[in-house]
Amino acid sequence: MITIPEYIQNLTPYKPGNKLKTGKKQKNISEFINLASNENPLGASPKAIEALKETTKYLSIYPDVGATELISYLSEMLGKPEQNIIAGSGSDAIIGDIIKAFSDYGDDILTAEETFIGYFVNVLKLGRNLIKAPMKNHQYDLDSILNSITPKTRIIFLSNPNNPTGSMFFKKDFESFLKKVPENILIVYDEAYSIYAALHEGYPDGLDYEQDNLIVVRTFSKSHGLAGIRIGFAFGPENLISTLYKVKLPFEPNSIAQKVALAALTDYDFIFQTIKLNTISIERLTNLFDELKVDYIKPYANFVMILFENQDLARDFVDKCYENAILVRHLTPFGVPNGVRISTGTHTQMDYALNVFKKLLREK
């Protein structure tokens, strides 16, 4: 009999919030509105789509191991040396590689209780100890994280703005935190929603920070609309980035992802339209919740987390949204059983969804 390590047996497979295909099949509804996955409601950048059409010529060729063109452009755009940047198959892959490269079996990896589930999955599947520091009012408590450091702590993961709560910590607190973390502990600053957060005064942009124990991770999945391609990147000290190259798969990201991501970076109008739409949609959502006196966390990304009195009410709201052909995300796997995350949509999607939400939330 094949022996399976206990820590693998104890894992729970990741269950995505997007039940779009299942929903269409079960309910025979042709048009579900997916507000469950923090995707870009505008789709992908038109320039990225055009680039995709041209990538068929690369299908038989192994990808560029160093993602040379993409990293060269990122270097110019970010103002960082090329040797300080790495690309991977989504930020999830990079997060996994960081754990492999900078920790060992049985080491402690520290994050917060109500944060990105990708940290939890990657840490546990690699046989590390997951330590989750308490949050304060559904926001990162950086002092709590400092107090949770153990002699075995090797990595700290921070999501800012935080998924799924939408909350954000600010420059003053972050800069104080950076000074207090021991130099032998790696800080991973996850900026999946940086383009939205940058609109808010006091946001600590990862580009502004350079220190020997800091890696910044970003993704093309959200604002660039490339979730289906799976590509992200990270930047940090050269010695840390060169170490990541030792553990990453040699031919990732794939050729198509590299070409499409490069095109998406140059589509400034698409990014502008994405930010504009998101700003309007966030305002419409929060205005409705204010009107109905629904408890929510102030959002800094492209989604809003609303809170119910208990888990049953949250689940009931999710189920009733589903019955009305709207997908939203119940947050039990993230550690917020009474929370529901609602992503922003197009104007037409929001028109319909807001009417449904108004009806359902008045009934709660």
Instruction: State yes or no: pLDDT of 11 exceeds 50.
Output: yes
Q: At 246, which helix (H) or strand (E)?
A: helix 238-247
Collapsed DSSP state (helix, strand, coil) of residue 9 = helix
The pLDDT of 200-208, averaged and rounded, is 97
Of residues 21 and 252, the one with the higher pLDDT is 252
d(C-alpha 218, C-alpha 198), whole Å: 13
Cβ proximity of 157 and 122 under 8 Å: no
> What is the dihedral sign for C-alpha 193, 198, 200, 203?
positive
Of residues 12 and 254, the one with the higher pLDDT is 254
Please give the pLDDT value at position 6: 80
Provide the pairing of β-strand 232-235 with 339-343: unpaired
Instruction: State yes or no: pLDDT of 213 exceeds 70.
Output: yes
Q: Quick one: what percent of the chain has pLDDT higher than 70?
A: 95
Instruction: State yes or no: pLDDT of 115 exceeds 60.
Output: yes
Inter-CA distances, 356 with 26, 46, 282, 320, 327, Å: 20, 31, 16, 9, 12
Amino acid sitting at position 165? T
Please give the pLDDT value at position 30: 54
Please give the pLDDT value at position 23: 46
Band of pLDDT at residue 19, cut at 50, 70 and 90: low
CB-based burial, 81-109: b 16+ in 10 Å, e otherwise: ebebbbbbbbbbbbbbbbbbbbbeeebbb
At 84-106, the pLDDT tens digits run 999 999 999 999 999 999 999 99
Inter-CA distances, 157 with 13, 132, 181, 319, 325, Å: 21, 10, 12, 32, 35
At 314-323, the pLDDT tens digits run 999 999 999 9
76 HSE (CA, 13 A, CB side) = 8
Q: At what angle are helices 268-291 and 347-363 packed, to 10 degrees?
A: 20
Of residues 26 and 87, the one with the higher pLDDT is 87
Backbone dihedral angles phi then psi of residue 304, each to the nearest 5 degrees: -130, 135
Apex 183 CA angle, 177 and 186, nearest 5? 75
- The whole-model pTM stands at 0.93
Fold of the domain spanning 46-265: Aspartate Aminotransferase; domain 2 (3.40.640)
Band of pLDDT at residue 139, cut at 50, 70 and 90: very high
- With tokens 């919740």, the residue in question is 289
Band of pLDDT at residue 174, cut at 50, 70 and 90: very high
Please give the pLDDT value at position 5: 80
The pLDDT of 15-29, averaged and rounded, is 52
CATH 3.40.640.10 residue ranges for the chain: 46-265
Please give the pLDDT value at position 25: 47
Instruction: State yes or no: pLDDT of 21 exceeds 90.
Output: no
At 247-260, the pLDDT tens digits run 999 899 999 999 99
Cβ proximity of 102 and 128 under 8 Å: no
Instruction: State yes or no: pLDDT of 29 exceeds 60.
Output: no
CATH 3.90.1150.10 residue ranges for the chain: 6-44+268-363
Fold of the domain spanning 6-44+268-363: Aspartate Aminotransferase, domain 1 (3.90.1150)
The pLDDT of 151-167, averaged and rounded, is 98
